[in-house]
């Protein structure tokens, strides 16, 4: 008898207990089963081929169309739950990491929650805050973008496969900061007049190339819907945003 069949049999045993001893908990049923005489056991549960004998009860557990169907239906139910998940931003599979861990490691910049707050990424976090400050000084202020994020907060939360439920508010702050940084970066690439003199990313093209390389990493993905929403509020609309992204990655030549 295979392990899977044994597991399914145990489930059938519990069903048999509940059927034959209604109103009794499992421990009481087992105790009564121990005290039963063999003829009483056989009367309630006749001996059958492919059966198993546990705690004084014989329960039928034969391979049949019905038992196989139950197993398959259970597995299909699990598949349905997985398929209904709205998540589309995942961490790199462990098998791929084993091949080349460094290919997935954020060394310069983190976009999104997966690598936020790592000490070696602090320099770029400060750069993001400089970009955020320039947006805060605009007439709309930050509230304009926070309100936009909150209107799709559940969608963004569900987009990521892994979460720390205790840090949902912090998650929101990370999303707003990182998305505004990316949109502002694309704006500066398209319009040199927006670049401040002390902007470290534009002092040397090498800096932009490195950032571009790490923006393409799997675990630095972000929902395009948020980028589009924020860029619209900054006067950059769909086609222009996509054009800005293409210009940024083509001119920086990260690879």
Q: For 228-243, how does the pLDDT look when each residue is reduced to its tens digit (9 = 90+)? A: 999 998 888 878 888 8
| 206: number of Cβ within 10 Å | 9
Residue pLDDT, tens place only, 100-138: 888 888 889 999 998 888 899 999 999 999 999 999 998
pTM listed for this prediction: 0.65
Share of the chain above pLDDT 90, in %: 27
Mean pLDDT of 195-201: 88
CB 128 within 8 A of CB 110: no
**Higher local confidence (pLDDT), 176 or 89:** 176
Domain ranges across the chain = 3-83, 94-252
* Contacts with 153 (C-beta within 8 Å, 6 or more apart), sequence order: 172
Q: Which of 153, 149, 160, 165 is nearest to 112 (CA)?
A: 160
pLDDT recorded at residue 133: 94
The whole-number average pLDDT for the span 177-195 is: 93
> Tokens 């997935």 label which residue?
104
Q: Tokens in use for 75? A: 């597995």
């Amino acid at each position: 008898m295979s392990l899977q069949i044994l597991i399914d049999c145990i489930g059938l045993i519990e069903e048999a207990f509940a059927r034959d001893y209604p109103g009794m908990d499992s421990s009481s049923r087992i105790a009564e089963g121990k005290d039963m005489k063999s003829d009483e056991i056989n009367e309630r549960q006749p001996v059958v081929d492919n059966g198993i004998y546990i705690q004084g009860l014989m329960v039928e557990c034969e391979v049949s169309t019905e038992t196989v169907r139950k197993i398959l239906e259970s597995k299909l139910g699990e598949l349905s739950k997985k398929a209904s998940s709205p998540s589309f931003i995942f961490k790199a599979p462990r098998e791929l990491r084993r091949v080349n861990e460094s290919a997935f490691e954020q060394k310069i910049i983190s976009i999104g929650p997966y690598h936020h707050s790592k000490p070696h990424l602090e320099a770029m976090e400060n750069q993001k805050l400089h970009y955020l400050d320039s947006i805060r000084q605009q007439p709309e202020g930050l509230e304009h973008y926070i309100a936009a994020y909150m209107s799709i907060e559940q969608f963004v939360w569900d987009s990521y496969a892994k979460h720390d439920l205790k840090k949902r508010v912090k998650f929101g702050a990370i999303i707003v900061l990182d998305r505004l940084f990316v949109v502002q970066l694309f704006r500066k690439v398209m319009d040199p007049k927006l670049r401040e003199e002390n902007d470290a990313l534009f002092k040397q093209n090498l800096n932009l190339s490195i950032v571009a390389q790490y923006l393409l990493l799997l675990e630095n993905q972000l929902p395009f819907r948020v980028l589009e929403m924020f860029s619209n509020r900054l006067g950059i609309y769909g086609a222009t945003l996509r054009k800005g992204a293409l210009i940024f990655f083509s001119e920086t030549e990260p690879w």
